[in-house]
Amino acid sequence: MSPTVQRSYLSRAIEQADLGTCVRAFLGLCALYVIGSAVYTIYFHPLARYPGPKRAVVSNIFYSKAIVGGDSAKIVKSLHDKYGDVVRWGPNELSFACAEAWRDIYDRRKDGKVLVKDPLFYRTDDTVRAKQIVSISDPEEHAQMRKMMSHAFSSRALLEQEELIQHYADDLMGAIRERGAQGPINLVEFFNWTTFDVLGELAFGEPFGSLKNRKTDPWIAIILDSIKFNAWDVAIWKLPILPRLQYWLTPAKVREGGIKHAYESKDKILKRAAKKTDRKDFVSYILAKRDELHITDWEMAAHSNALIVAGSETSATVLSGLHYYLLNNQYAYQKLKEEVRGRFNSVEEVDAKSIERLPYLTACIEETFRIYPPIPIAMPRVTPKGGCEIAGKYVPEGTTVGVHMWSVTHNPRHFADPDAFRPERWTDPDCTDNLDASKPFLVGPRMCMGINMAWIEVRIILAKITLLYDLELYDKNLDWNRDQCCYTLWQKPDLFVKVTPRISF
C-alpha cells in the first residue's frame, strides 16, 4: 500500500470515528503509556536492581500518601524490615537504614562529589521567594550563609545564649510550680513555650511571651500548624500536574495565613534591626553582613523564621520525649534523680559546665535522641553527575537518597532491643551497639549549627526539673510511639503529668 493510500485510509477512519471511539482510543493510549512506564520503572530503570514494593516504585503516589498520612516513619521502617538496609520506595527514591551511609551521603567525600539538598523537598518559600540557611541547595551560596552565621554559634556567643536559656529555664520552673499546684500540666505545651521564647529572643529580638502568659502565642500556633502543611507541599511537588494546581489545592485560610505570617515576620525583623542594642543575638550577625552580601529584608525574615523552626520545635520535642520515656521507666528515672540530686543542692549550681559532668543525664538524652529522633525522616539529597557509591553500592546520578533517621536508630543490626529505652547503652563500656549510627544532628557541612546550644538547653532544663520536682505520668494509657503523627517533624500528643515540688528555689 502506498503512503498516499495509507494516509487517506487513516484520515477517512478518523473522519468517520464518533466521539466514543476517540475517547476509547485516547484512554487506550493513556493505559498503554501508564503500563509501559510502570514496566520500565520496575524492570529497566537504573534503580531496578534495588528492592522495594512495586506499588511504591511505579509512581510517587505511595511516597506522597505516606508523607501526608502522618506515619511515614513507621512505613519506611517496615519496608526496611522487609527489604533490608537499602529500599527503593519511590521511582527515584532510595532510603538507607545503615550507619555506613551517613558519611557517604552527608559528609565531605574523598572523591570530592557533593550530594546537594533535594530542591523538591527544600523548596524556597513561594510567598516571598527568599532564600534561607536551612533550605538553600547551592553549596556555594550555603557556604557563604553558614560562614555569616557561624559567629552566632561560637563559644563566645554560646555564653550569652546560656544566660538567656537560664533565664527562661527559671521562668519555666516557676510556671511548672504555679500550674502544677492546680492540677496535671501538659509538659509539651510548657516546653514549646520555653524553647520558642528563647528562639524568639535570638531570632527576632523579643520573646513570644507564651511562658509569661501561660498560653500558646498565635505565632507559635501558626508555625506548629505549618508543619503539617509543609508535608502537603512536599507531597504535591512530588506528583505530576498537581504543582500547577497548588494555588487551588491550598486552602485559602492557609494561603492567607502564610502571606500574613511573611509580612508580620518582615515587620518584626525590621523592628529589631532598628533597635540600638549591643546584644549579640542571631540578627546582629546577619545585620553586620547585610550590605556586603546584599541580604534583603525578606531574606532576613526568612532566616529568622527558619532558625525558629530549626531551634525551638526540635528542642521541645526531645524534652517531651525524654520525660515520657523517663516517667515510663522508673529504673532510669530513679537513677537520674540520684545523680542530679546527689550533685546539686540548688538550681543556682546548675550551669553549662557543671551539667557536663553528669554521665547518666547525658546518657538519658542520647538515648532519647536515638529512640525518638526529633527529625525522624531522611533529609533528602540528590546524587551528583556520574552517580556515586553509597554504603558500598553504586547509585546512579539524579537519585534522591537519605539515611532514614527512625529506621537507622531502630535497626537491630546497630542497636540490641532497639525499642527499649536503655540509657546504659551510652555508659556501659562493654555495650556492643553501634552508637555512631545515631546522628540526630546529622554530619558534614549541613550538620546542625545549633547542636551545642541544643545540648545546653536540654541539659539545663532536664537537670533543673529533676532537681525541683517529682513527676508522674497522668494518662497511664498514653503510648508515645502510637499516639503521634510524623509529618516532616513530629506532631506530638499531650503529655500530662502530676507535679510534686521537692525543694523551694
- The single residue among 379, 462, 463, 486 that binds ligand HEM, judged by CB under 6 A, is 379
Q: Please name the helix (run of DSSP H) or strand (run of DSSP E) that holds residue 129, with its range, or none.
A: none
CB 235 within 8 A of CB 64: yes
In angstroms, give the least distance from the CB of 450 to ligand HEM: 2
Query: Which residue lies nearer to ligand HEM by CB, 52 or 321?
Result: 321
| Least gap, CB of 203 to ligand HEM (angstroms) | 7
User: For ligand HEM, which residue of 446, 459, 464, 492 counts as binding (CB under 6 A)?
Assistant: 446
- For ligand HEM, give the closer residue by CB, 59 or 399: 399
Binding residues among 452-471 for ligand HEM as defined by CB under 6 A: 453-454
Residues 6 or more apart whose CB falls under 8 angstroms from that of 239 comprise 59, 60, 61, 64
Q: Say how many CA atoms lie within 13 Å of 121 toward its Cβ.
A: 20
Of the residues 172, 440, 469, 489, which one makes contact with ligand HEM according to CB under 6 A: 440
CA dihedral 206, 207, 208, 209 (to 10 degrees): -120
CA atoms within 13 A on the CB side of 8: 4
Q: Which one-letter DSSP state was computed for residue 372?
A: S
Q: Which residues contact 84 (CB under 8 A, 6 or more apart)?
A: 51
Minimum CB distance to ligand HEM smaller for 38 or for 287 = 287
DSSP 179-229: HHTTS-EEHHHHHHHHHHHHHHHHHHSS---HHHHTS--HHHHHHHHHHHH
The order of strands in the sheet holding 185-186 is 185-186, 496-501, 469-473
The answer to whether residue 95 forms part of the interface with ligand HEM (CB under 6 A) is: no
Q: Which residues contact 199 (CB under 8 A, 6 or more apart)?
A: 307, 308, 311, 312
Q: Considering only CA atoms, which of 100, 112, 85 is closest in space to residue 392? A: 100
- Asked if 171 and 208 count as a contact pair (C-beta separation under 8 A), the reply is no
CA angle 343, 348, 354 (to 5 degrees): 45
Query: Which range of residues in 11-19, 384-392, 446-454, 486-494 is near ligand HEM by CB under 6 A?
Result: 446-454
Minimal distance, residue 406 CB to ligand HEM, in Å: 12
Using CB under 6 A, which of 200, 207, 258, 374 touches ligand HEM? 374
Nearest to ligand HEM by Cβ — which residue? 450
Question: Binders of ligand HEM: how many residues, by CB under 6 A?
Answer: 21
CB-neighbour burial class of residue 296 (10 A; exposed 0-12, middle 13-18, buried 19+):
middle
d(CA 343, CA 352): 14
Of 89 and 121, CB closest to ligand HEM: 121
Question: Shortest gap between Cβ of 16 and ligand HEM (angstroms)?
Answer: 59
**Residue 375 sits in the site that holds ligand HEM (CB under 6 A):** yes
Quote the radius of gyration of the chain (alpha carbons, Å). 26
CB of 310 to ligand HEM, least distance (A): 4
Binding piece for ligand HEM, criterion CB under 6 A, among 11-19, 27-35, 332-340, 443-451: 443-451
Stretch 111-150 residues interacting with ligand HEM (CB under 6 A): 133-134, 146
Pairing of strands 400-403, 93-96: parallel
By CB under 6 A, is residue 157 in contact with ligand HEM? Answer: no
CB count, 10 Å around CB of 1?
Answer: 6
Q: Of the listed pieces 30-38, 63-71, 175-183, 440-448, which binds ligand HEM according to CB under 6 A?
A: 440-448
Residues numbered 293-352 forming contacts with ligand HEM, rule: CB under 6 A: 307, 310-311, 314-315, 318
Which of residues 190 and 474 has its CB atom nearest to ligand HEM in the complex? Answer: 190
Query: How many Cβ atoms from other residues are within 10 Å of residue 107's Cβ?
Result: 15
Q: How far is the CB of 248 from ligand HEM (least distance, A)?
A: 29
On whether 448 is known to bind a ligand per the annotation, the reply is yes
Which CB atom, from 52 or from 440, has the smaller least distance to ligand HEM? 440
Residue span binding ligand HEM (CB under 6 A) among the ranges 4-12, 209-217, 252-260, 437-445: 437-445
Binding residues for heme: 448
Residues at the interface with ligand HEM (CB under 6 A): 133-134, 146, 307, 310-311, 314-315, 318, 374-375, 379, 440-442, 446, 448-450, 453-454
Binding residues: 448
